[in-house]
């Protein structure tokens, strides 16, 4: 596996096939991440370590409800249909 580390040796990207820019080779597999995001792990001296504090913070963020849209933060079906008919690829552009 190819991994890219940040300045604190946390994994910020990985590739099983191919390459990642500015990466190093590591003897790891996807299973080593235990179905968690790679950015929760440090890789130092060939050892992968889960940052428990970072994991706890990430889990708390996952449990936070999505904020409700306020004002005009959403597009109605009719507005979207009209934009498509006019040939606009994205709303508001």
Tell me what pLDDT residue 29 has.
93
Give the span between the Cα atoms of 75 and 44, in whole angstroms. 47
Distance (Å, whole) CA 5 – CA 3? 6
Residue 92: its pLDDT value, please? 52
CA angle 19, 23, 29 (to 5 degrees): 70
How does pLDDT run along the chain (93 residues), one tens digit per residue? Answer: 999 999 999 999 999 988 899 999 999 999 999 999 999 999 999 999 999 999 999 999 988 887 776 666 677 888 878 877 777 555 454
**Residue 33 has what pLDDT?**
94
The pTM for the full model equals 0.67
Strands in the chain per DSSP E: 2-5, 11-15, 24-25, 41-44, 47-50
Q: What's residue 23's pLDDT?
A: 93
Determine whether 11 is exposed, middle or buried from the number of CB atoms within 10 Å of its CB (0-12, 13-18, 19+).
buried
pLDDT of residue 18: 87
Q: Look at residue 10 in the predicted model and tell me its pLDDT.
A: 97
Listed by start position, the domains of the chain span 2-63
């Amino acid at each position: 596996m190819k991994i890219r580390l940040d300045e604190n040796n946390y994994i910020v990207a990985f590739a099983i096939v191919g390459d990642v820019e500015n990466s190093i080779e590591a003897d790891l597999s996807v299973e080593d991440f235990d179905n968690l995001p790679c950015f929760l792990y440090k890789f130092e001296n060939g050892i992968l370590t889960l940052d428990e504090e970072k994991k706890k913070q990430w889990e708390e963020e996952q449990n936070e409800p999505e904020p409700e849209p306020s004002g005009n933060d959403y597009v109605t079906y009719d507005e979207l249909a009209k934009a498509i008919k006019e040939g606009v690829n994205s709303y508001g552009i």
